[in-house]
Amino acid sequence: MRKLTFLLVLTLLAACGWFGVDREEGSVTDQTADDERVIINEGEQTVFPLTGEINPDQQNDPIVAVMINNHQNARPQAGLSKADVVYEALAEGSITRFLALFHSDIPDTIGPVRSARPYFLELADGWNALYIYHGASTAIQKQVTTSGVSYLNGSIYDNNGWLFQRTSDRKAPHNSYLITDGILQAASNKGYTSFKRHEPLPFDSEQELDGKPVNRMAIRYAEAQQVLFNWKERSGFFQRSSDGETTIDAADGTAIGVENVLVIRAGHKVIDTKGRRAVDLKSGGDGWLLQKGIRKEIQWRNIDGRLLPFADGKALAFLPGKTWVNIIPSSVEVRFD
């Protein structure tokens, strides 16, 4: 898989500050709510801000946040295994949608891409990411336009062949895919010339985990709609499945596995007859953090737009690797085995 590079406009990006890693004597830092500073030091090497893994090429690409369809007719999705962080939340009825953050490895094709939602926009804003989606209601599009977030709306580029392409194997709205080679041109066309820096997550590969053993976690959205995370000790990650089927990447059949699973309860409110929701990402609440076959009860907080786990008032670290975040209402059942 290729990485998204912006060599042709390196001078422009340097001036704008659109970078993924802060460099200071080989360290990456993150400011927590308690003014504690978590530091990763890899000598002269930097790490990717979303995964904590070594960045061998010292690449400074933007974070790309893509709305990905999770309707049954949209599975399996393409490019999902390359996402560094995925946020999953209800979109309509009991159907969830993903906001996938790509930085360390940008696949050639991502999708199917789906429409915007305000709470996903909030999450993208928290990462100073380029928010990419396909379509939005008039009200939501106004929110996006006035938010100050850099964005690309696929409905403007529908099936143009260089940024979005529809496939013939599926019916709309489950067949629109992002062609990542076109991102640079589209961003340039929109006149984006100023981008903020993004700070990394707190990581710690040597932390001692405390909590209860867990082999499986089940999140039950409806009678026939359930998400599972199964601990794979040999592989060292939690493998995701949905509605009884392993979640795979359509590009190469890779099963989706992550080192960190964060599940948080947040206030949800249905706001229209189609079952769309407003989700409270500000107030904090309870949840669980799953790492290395251990589950820990946590409290989550919104720190500068990012949803982070805490315990006993102290910020918790993520393991280097990929992270999946499920945002659920209080009515959704969660079970552990």
Per-residue tokens: 196: 């903020």
pLDDT given for residue 45 in this prediction: 63
CA-to-CA dists, residue 227 to 128, 199, 322, angstroms: 29, 30, 17
Secondary structure (H, E, C), 54-122: EECCCCCCCCEEEEECCCHHHCCEECHHHCCEEEEEEEECCEEEEEEEECCCCCCEEECECCCCHHHHH
d(CA 132, CA 4) in angstroms, rounded, equals 15
Q: What would the pLDDT profile of 84-117 be if each residue is shown by its tens digit?
A: 999 999 998 899 999 999 999 999 999 999 999 9
Q: Which of 44-48, 130-134, 187-191 has the highest mean pLDDT?
A: 130-134
- Is a pLDDT exceeding 60 seen at residue 13? no
Task: Please report, for the domain that includes residue 246, its CATH number.
Answer: 3.50.90.10
Q: What is the mean pLDDT of the chain?
A: 87
CA torsion, ordered 181, 73, 224, 278, to nearest 10 deg? 60
Pairing assessment for the beta strands 37-41 and 164-166 based on DSSP bridges? unpaired
Task: Decide if pLDDT at 337 tops 70.
Answer: yes
Express each pLDDT in 271-312 by its tens digit.
Answer: 888 778 999 999 999 999 999 999 999 999 999 999 999 999
Residue 263: the pLDDT is: 98
Residue 307 domain-assigned? yes
Q: Which pLDDT does position 257 carry in this prediction?
A: 98
Residue 236 located in a structural domain: yes
Q: Other CB atoms closer than 10 Å to residue 161's CB: what's the count?
A: 10
Residue 27 has pLDDT above 80, yes or no: no
Residue 73 has pLDDT above 50, yes or no: yes
pLDDT at 18: 38
Q: Is 14 helix (H, G, I), strand (E, B) or coil?
A: helix
**What pLDDT band is residue 224 in, cutting at 50, 70 and 90?**
confident
Predicted local distance difference test score (pLDDT) of residue 26: 30
Local confidence band at 21 (pLDDT 50, 70, 90 cut-offs): very low
Tell me how far the alpha carbon of residue 276 is from its chain's centroid. Answer: 20
Determine the pLDDT at residue 215.
98
Q: From the CB of residue 312, how many other CB atoms can be counted at a distance below 10 Å?
A: 7
Instruction: Tell me what pLDDT residue 105 has.
Output: 94
How many domains in the chain? 1
Report if residue 257 sits inside a domain. yes
The confidence score (pLDDT) of residue 4 equals: 58
**Alpha helix ranges (H) inside the chain:** 10-16, 118-126, 138-147, 183-189
Write phi, then psi, for 259 (nearest 5 degrees): -80, -25
Bigger pLDDT: 180 or 196? Answer: 180
- Residue 141 dihedral angles phi and psi, to the nearest 5°: -60, -35
Q: Which pLDDT belongs to residue 61? A: 74
Within-domain flag for 139: no
Identify whether 243 is part of a domain.
Answer: yes
Q: Using a pLDDT cut of 70, give the percent of the chain over it.
A: 84
Which residues have CB under 8 Å from 266's CB, separation 6+? 279, 280, 281, 283, 285, 327, 328, 329
pLDDT per position as a tens digit, 146-161: 999 999 999 999 999 9
Instruction: Give the burial class of 269: count Cβ atoms within 10 A of its Cβ; 0-12 exposed, 13-18 middle, 19 or more buried.
Output: exposed
Q: Is 191 left (phi over 0), alpha (psi -120 to 50) or beta?
A: left
Give the domain range for residue 314: 212-336
Q: Which residue did the predictor score with more confidence, 55 or 115?
A: 115
Measured distance CA(264)–CA(106) in Å, rounded? 27
The region of weakest confidence among 6-15, 75-84, 176-185 is 6-15
Which residues, in sequence order, are bridge partners of residue 88?
98, 326
Task: Write down the pTM of the prediction.
Answer: 0.88
Quote the radius of gyration of the chain (alpha carbons, Å): 19
- Better pLDDT: 188 or 59: 188
- Asked if residue 184 has pLDDT above 80, the reply is yes
The mean pLDDT of 18-34, rounded to a whole number, is 32
Joined tokens for residue 297: 């009860």
Task: Judge whether 330 lies within some domain.
Answer: yes
User: Is the distance from CB of 239 to CB of 246 less than 8 angstroms?
Assistant: yes
Q: Which comes out higher in pLDDT, residue 192 or 115? A: 115
